[in-house]
Amino acid sequence: MALSNTVWITLAIVCASLVEGSMDRKDRQDPDWWKTTTVYQIYPRSFKDSDNDGTGDLKGIQSELDYFVDLGIETVWLSPIFKSPMKDFGYDVSDFIDIDPIFGTLEDFKDLLEAAHSRGLKIVMDYVPNHSSDQHEWFQKSLEKEDPYTDYYVWEDAIGFDNNGDPIPPNNWLSYFRYSAWEWNEQRQQFYLHQFVKEQPDLNYRNPLVLKEMQDVLTFWMELGVDGFRMDAVAYMWEDEQLLDEPLSGDPSALDEFDYFYLDHIYTNNLAETRDIILAAFDQTIKEFGAQDGYPRVNMLEVYLDIQDHLQYYECSDFPFNFYLISNTAQPPSAVMMFDAINYLLDNIEEDQVPNWVLGNHDNWRVGYRLGPKVVDTMNMILLTLPGVSVSYYGEEIGMTNNMNITFEQTVDPSGCNCGPQDYNEEVCSRDPERTPMQWNNGPNAGFNEGGPTWLPLNDNYVSVNVENQRDDPYSHFSIYKKMIALRQETALRFGSTVTKTIGNVLVVGRISETPETVPTFVLVANFAETSATVDLSEMFSTPQSDTGVVVVATDLQSDNSEGSIVSLQSITLSPMESFVFQL
Ligand code: NOJ
Ligand code: MG
């Protein structure tokens, strides 16, 4: 059959665009791209080190973009890559619109962005609005009382001087990383507020110029082409003007009176103005930019709050990160615990609020350590079965765990250092254990670099826990993760309604198709018990047409539930700790 010229020309255009990059900017026309996206968080220092200097960099990330394409990841979020003295490893920013040389240059970033977009990948930037570095030009000028920078930060007088002649801070407010949140500055003869390390002075959002500056930062990165932002520590941006002491919390987990959790932060955290004034303005900047070029950027917020407070942040963003799978779970994991953590969000959000799920990040122990290595696949399957956005921390797809063998001398995280040699490895202290280099293979330094230094010691388990080892094994963490993402394409995992249930220690999550003739319903069953279990799901899922399902993602090779096998809804038997997904 001869093809007409028009058909040939059309095919040629289609092929050319596929070669250039399958999705390119065209898929940007989908205004809802972010509502079901898969986010992968890169901690840039730890991902891939192209120049063998010990710290990961942009060229390293660029060299691994096909890894995301292979895995099926759609959105990559980069923890801060801005200029920084690295007192808090990039969260102390000395120039919000430039790249730190340790990671590369602005040109490298533009290259990375283009290379990512040409593969249909989205790039989301971290954005750190609560504070800058003390080395930022604004702070240096503020020290000098040079206008307009004089009031760019939160400066307060001492309330007196003690017997040694030392200045007394305005109140008892504490830094998240321990000790007073006030630091005396000799030059200005005043205290400045820092809710994180002392080299991270808090910006003063009562000053409209600061708000404007930070809105311009957003515009700068959007003009460069980034696909959205993850906003850091947003609940800390506004403090009560009266500067009253904060009351004691009574929290037994506080190490001592210098521990942040010793106080109840009613005057420094989660004040209405942070949402109504600051975040509303940031969100407006982002939405207006998106409306202009017809492509919405995503705006995701970092907040750790109870559900009622949490929900308020939907008003000023696309979504606040949902950390309940972290904060509301602990060892030993159980079906009821997961059910409660999941429904803490699902029972409370409105229809038009997009749910999202996070298992770990650079501030929390890795899920494979916190809940144990046996539930790595189960947790990834839960993450990728639930509705909305999934957020994975690098290495979760291969089951990386904490490196708890880092000595106090090797510890670099200020939060660990401030806890001292006794406590540094407590969960609330050092974050180094979850920040060690990505484990690519079992070669030198796990393929993170070519055998040079590494900024943190590798986890010894890289010899077996690595990408190369897992890539071709159909039942590895990597392969299961990849199969789960593949299932999400245009299926009920993206668009279906959600049902959850526990039967004994088995968790059931169903994603029900509205059009079962063409799109199947998917069901995840996860046994959290160390013994086998049999469940009857016929009432939940049987239809007049069928009372069986077909296993599509399996985990336990020893069990009968291998991929392709038929399960009878009336009686499904799971091995100890087994989980799998079947379709109806
Ligand atoms: C939250 C970030 O995730 C954390 O790593 C950082 O130390 C603080 N905010 C301060 O920026
Ligand atoms: Mg490097």
Question: How far is the C-alpha of 563 from the C-alpha of 584, rounded, in Å?
Answer: 14
Tokens of 561: 């539930």
Beta 182-185 vs 190-193: how paired, if at all? Answer: antiparallel
| 111 CA from centroid of ligand 2 (Å) | 17
Q: Of all protein residues, whose CA lies closest to atom 2 belonging to ligand 1?
A: 232
Q: Which atom number of ligand 1 is nearest to the Cα of residue 130?
A: 11
Instruction: Specify the pLDDT at position 17.
Output: 35
Cβ contact 577:375 at 8 Å: yes
Q: What SS3 class is residue 46?
A: helix
Asked whether residue 18 carries a pLDDT value surpassing 70, the answer given is no
Q: Average pLDDT in the 70-91 region?
A: 98
Q: Which atom number of ligand 1 is nearest to the Cα of residue 92?
A: 11
Q: Which ligand is nearest to the CA of 84?
A: 1
Domain 494-583 has CATH 2.60.40.1180: yes
Least-confidence region, from 1-10, 96-105, 288-297: 1-10
| 45 CA from centroid of ligand 2 (Å) | 8
Q: Average pLDDT in the 189-195 region?
A: 98
Question: How far is the C-alpha of 441 from the C-alpha of 420, rounded, in Å?
Answer: 34
Residue 390, strand partner residues: 38, 357
Q: Which atom number of ligand 1 is nearest to the Cα of residue 361?
A: 3
| 367 CA from centroid of ligand 2 (Å) | 27
Provide the pLDDT confidence category of residue 15 given band limits of 50, 70 and 90.
very low
Angle at 440 between CA 437 and CA 446, to 5 degrees: 60
Asked whether residue 25 carries a pLDDT value surpassing 60, the answer given is no
- Using CB distances shorter than 6 Å, the residues near ligand 1 are 88, 91, 128, 196, 232-233, 302, 362-363
Q: Of all protein residues, whose CA lies closest to atom 6 belonging to ligand 1?
A: 91
Mutate to test the pocket of ligand 1, among 196, 202, 304 (most ligand atoms within 8 A of CB): 196
Q: Of all protein residues, whose CA lies closest to atom 5 belonging to ligand 1?
A: 363
Instruction: Specify the pLDDT at position 544.
Output: 85
Q: Which atom number of ligand 1 is nearest to the Cα of residue 131?
A: 11
Provide the pLDDT confidence category of residue 297 given band limits of 50, 70 and 90.
very high
Asked whether residue 426 carries a pLDDT value surpassing 70, the answer given is yes
Rounded to the nearest integer, the mean pLDDT of the chain is 94
Instruction: Specify the pLDDT at position 494.
Output: 87
Tokens 């086998």 -> residue: 532
Q: Which ligand is nearest to the CA of 231?
A: 1
Q: Which atom number of ligand 1 is nearest to the Cα of residue 196?
A: 10
Q: Average pLDDT in the 174-199 region?
A: 98
Mutate to test the pocket of ligand 1, among 88, 304, 362 (most ligand atoms within 8 A of CB): 88
| 577 CA from centroid of ligand 2 (Å) | 40
| 132 CA from centroid of ligand 2 (Å) | 24
How far is residue 113 from each of residues 99, 118, 257, measured CA to CA in Å?
A: 13, 8, 45
Q: Which atom number of ligand 1 is nearest to the Cα of residue 91?
A: 11
Asked whether residue 11 carries a pLDDT value surpassing 90, the answer given is no
Mutate to test the pocket of ligand 1, among 43, 91, 175, 203 (most ligand atoms within 8 A of CB): 91
Asked whether residue 105 carries a pLDDT value surpassing 50, the answer given is yes
| Count of H-run helices and E-run strands, the chain | 19, 21
Tokens 């379709």 -> residue: 583
Asked whether residue 77 carries a pLDDT value surpassing 50, the answer given is yes
Provide the pLDDT confidence category of residue 3 given band limits of 50, 70 and 90.
very low
Helix, strand, coil shares of the chain as percentages rounded to 5? 35, 15, 50
Q: Of all protein residues, whose CA lies closest to atom 4 belonging to ligand 1?
A: 363
Mutate to test the pocket of ligand 1, among 96, 302, 304, 363 (most ligand atoms within 8 A of CB): 363
Strand boundaries in 274-417, DSSP class E: 298-301, 319-320, 356-358, 389-393
In the chain, list all ranges with CATH 3.20.20.80: 5-130+209-235+272-401+449-479
Rg (CA), the chain: 25
Asked whether residue 437 carries a pLDDT value surpassing 90, the answer given is yes
Q: Of all protein residues, whose CA lies closest to atom 11 belonging to ligand 1?
A: 91
Q: Average pLDDT in the 248-274 region?
A: 96
| 91 CA from centroid of ligand 1 (Å) | 6
- How much of the chain exceeds pLDDT 70, in percent? 95
Tokens 């254990």 -> residue: 433
Span 530-566, pLDDT tens digits: 999 999 999 999 988 899 999 999 998 889 999 999 9
Provide the pLDDT confidence category of residue 274 given band limits of 50, 70 and 90.
very high
H-run or E-run covering 506? strand 506-512
Strand boundaries in 297-362, DSSP class E: 298-301, 319-320, 356-358
CA 456 and chain centroid, separation: 20
Residue 166 DSSP label: P
Instruction: Specify the pLDDT at position 27.
Output: 55
Task: Classify burial at 311, counting beta carbons within 10 Å of its beta carbon; exposed 0-12, middle 13-18, buried 19 or more.
Answer: middle
How far is residue 85 from each of residues 102, 139, 177, measured CA to CA in Å?
A: 10, 14, 17
CA 74 and chain centroid, separation: 14
| 44 CA from centroid of ligand 2 (Å) | 9
Angle at 457 between CA 453 and CA 463, to 5 degrees: 100
Span 450-502, pLDDT tens digits: 999 999 999 999 999 999 999 999 999 999 999 999 999 878 888 899 999 99
* Domain covering 5-130+209-235+272-401+449-479: architecture: Alpha-Beta Barrel (3.20)
Asked whether residue 28 carries a pLDDT value surpassing 80, the answer given is no
Cβ contact 331:337 at 8 Å: no
Residue 574, strand partner residues: 533
End-to-end CA distance of the chain: 40
Residues in the chain: 584
Q: What SS3 class is residue 523?
A: strand
pTM score of the predicted model = 0.94
Provide the pLDDT confidence category of residue 21 given band limits of 50, 70 and 90.
very low
Q: Average pLDDT in the 90-117 region?
A: 98
| 323 CA from centroid of ligand 1 (Å) | 15
Residue 253 DSSP label: T
Instruction: Specify the pLDDT at position 5.
Output: 42
Q: Which ligand is nearest to the CA of 448?
A: 2
In the chain, list all ranges with CATH 2.60.40.1180: 494-583
Tokens of 281: 């303005």
Instruction: Specify the pLDDT at position 492.
Output: 87
CB atoms within 10 A of CB 473: 11
- How much of the chain exceeds pLDDT 90, in percent? 90
Task: Classify burial at 462, counting beta carbons within 10 Å of its beta carbon; exposed 0-12, middle 13-18, buried 19 or more.
Answer: buried
The residue among 82, 31, 565 whose CA lies nearest residue 294 is 31
Span 201-241, pLDDT tens digits: 999 999 999 999 999 999 999 999 999 999 999 999 999 99
Asked whether residue 20 carries a pLDDT value surpassing 80, the answer given is no
Cβ contact 575:556 at 8 Å: yes
Q: In what order do the strands lie in the sheet with 155-156?
A: 155-156, 190-193, 182-185
Q: Which ligand is nearest to the CA of 449?
A: 2
Instruction: Specify the pLDDT at position 489.
Output: 86
Residue 297 DSSP label: P
Span 312-370, pLDDT tens digits: 999 999 999 999 999 999 999 999 999 999 999 999 999 999 999 999 999 999 999 99
Q: Which residues are catalytic?
A: 232, 302
Q: Which ligand is nearest to the CA of 202?
A: 1
